[in-house]
Structure 1
Amino acid sequence: MQDSEAYGDRFGDKFGLETAPVFITRTLRNAEIAVTEIRSDYPRIGLTDSIAREDGYLVGLQIRDYPHHEYWEDGRQAPLTSLRSGDSVFYDLKRDPLVLIDKPFHSMHFYLPRVALNAIADDTEAPQIGELAYQPGAGVPDPVIADLGLSLLGAFGRPEEVSRVFVDHVTLAVGVHVAHRYGGMRVLRRERGQLAMWQEKRAKELLEANLDGDISLRALAMECGLSRSHFTRAFRATTGVAPHQWLLQRRIERAKDLLHDTKQTIAEVALSCGFADQSHFTRIFTRVVGTSPHAWRQSVNS
């Protein structure tokens, strides 16, 4: 059951929205990170409703320009700013952040509670961080948050096509980046090196058995006896790619095998390889391979 009002439909309700799509990552110990998309072309005019105070932050990513951004913390109005698409904005949930909604808006918000920031620090063997450094109400051009956030944008409309490994990777990457850049987190000791042969074999077996991506980074790391951050670094060092990228490559390889060696329909191949449906499979296959599954099958079987 959701306790926080800072993500999902309970968050969207503060903006007068009936629904607000959300992805939730629970790979950290006793903590969760969430990312919510909010948008309206015909919004309810007025101040947003208060969010129940808690020790944590929202990191907003502007998808649409929002000129004349009027913002309050603890009843005090911040200097007037204008937000541009791609800007990041920080909201301290301890300080009753309020925004005047008087024009269409579109943004996504990463929910980073204190317990998640502490878990990120613990996972990288760094001292726990204090308050984040930010200017209330001001937009910050941050290409890392922008690139990571935009990689999830299309997923809100097609959540059934998104693997948990990918969502975990993006949301946790945002959390680590925020802790480093705005919280001053410094890693005292970084574990290096590649996965042992048995760890690489086990991780690939688990990914292979979950081509639909329904396995978390935490589960993969635990099977290898590593922390999540160490596992992610070691997996990339060993294979050259992140776990979600390896999974996508394996899906495509498996699909090619089935297209070449079986009589399965393209729709059947799509489901066998963990894609949501034929349309999802065709889009991804064409993007990676450069031609559609049907055309590829004809070329190799002719």
Structure 2
Amino acid sequence: MNDVITPDDLPAWVPGESTLDSAPLGWEGVRIRRWRYTALDIAVPGLSDYMVVAYKRGTTLMNRRCTGDWRNEHVAPGCVSVLTHAAQSHWRWSEDIEVVHLYLSPTSVARIAADAYDRHIRDIELHDVLRADDPVLGGIAECLEREADGDGVGSRLYADALRNQACVHILRRYANVVFREPTRSGGLSRARCRMLAEYIDENLDRAISLQELASVVQLSAFHFTRKFRAEFGRPPHAYVMDKRVERAKAQLGRRDIPLKAIAAACGFADQSHMTRIFRRALGVTPAEFRRSKIG
């Protein structure tokens, strides 16, 4: 698979005027961004996230090619386009348009799919949909757009609820889900995996020992480590540290939280520990990452 780009990289490939971005709000697994575009003819590398394009203003003939032949549809306010993650695409249109991009992280979509089907997920690929008249998905994008513009009471809870609704709707209407076969060595059940993930998220602000995690699912530390690696693809310590970095990245999008407070909230021993982990994982310090997010 070719390297993918992030939503932050997208303007280098699809130049336009961004008039709204939810990134500073630190929503988890979902992001909304509003764009104004002139006529373009652009080839785009695969995107790390699943993307929904909700058309707001302007009407144009949209031409797009992903893995197959060119597809042509007239797009207008009220309709949406859907693009699976990591898929290269080529887009052409001739008129000025205003759109909203709804980005959903593969982690969030896979988690919702695992809960919905109560099975382990190997992959989720969205259908090649250039135009759909979908008031539900368009309405979710519009609600997230208004929330990003206003940031009202309970903003993160509201964004989480809309993210979950979008994921379930997409799974029902646009997704091909490939399930993972059970491990021969006897891994953890879906219920135990969910229990562990929730326990780690709820206790991420403090030290979590291997024995503590093993006791959550009533296993010895030895058997727990083997089964955890089989299901999560990495040792427990690495998974917990990745979750700390993921939470810190979300909080670093806000100017009003000091680095020391972020380190404490994410369970790092101190600010210098967070800096070391960020350098190892991302090649930048937390301060450098914050500058790149906020500008």
Q: How does the TM-score come out when normalised to structure 1?
A: 0.49
- Going by fraction, where is strand more abundant, 1 or 2? 2
Q: How does the TM-score come out when normalised to structure 2?
A: 0.50
Instruction: Choose 1 or 2 for highest CA Rg.
Output: 1
